[in-house]
């Protein structure tokens, strides 16, 4: 384990530099789902199925349906039902 040399660290009171990357805890699913109304739906790929299922469980709490598209291969339909 490496020891930190606190003698070289200077605490500053000026504003910190702006962040150039997004925060890892910011989710855009909440904003996306807020725009939806009952009956709205969209098609997602099978790669995104688990992500949208988890986000729907978090933000919509059982008000959505996620099922396999009847004609498109490897596609799923996400529908707001309540």
Provide the residue range defining the domain that includes 67. Answer: 33-82
User: Which residues are CB-contacts of 68 (< 8 A; sequence separation ≥ 6)?
Assistant: 75, 76, 77
| Residue 6 placed within a domain | no
> Which pair of structure tokens corresponds to residue 22?
């997004």
Number of domains in the chain: 1
Query: Residue 5: pLDDT band by 50, 70, 90 thresholds?
Result: confident
25 φ/ψ sector (left φ>0, alpha ψ -120 to 50, else beta): alpha
| Residue 77 placed within a domain | yes
**Rounded distance between C-alpha atoms, residue 29 and residue 78, angstroms:** 13
Share of the chain above pLDDT 70, in %: 98
Q: What's residue 12's pLDDT?
A: 78
| Residue 38 placed within a domain | yes
């Amino acid at each position: 384990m490496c020891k930190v040399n606190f003698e070289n660290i200077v605490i500053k009171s000026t504003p910190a530099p702006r962040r150039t990357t997004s925060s890892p805890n910011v989710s855009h699913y909440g904003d996306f789902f807020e725009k939806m109304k009952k009956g709205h739906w969209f098609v997602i790929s099978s790669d995104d199925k688990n992500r949208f299922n988890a986000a729907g469980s978090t933000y919509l709490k059982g008000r959505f349906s996620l099922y396999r598209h009847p004609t498109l291969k490897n596609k799923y339909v996400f529908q707001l039902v309540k």
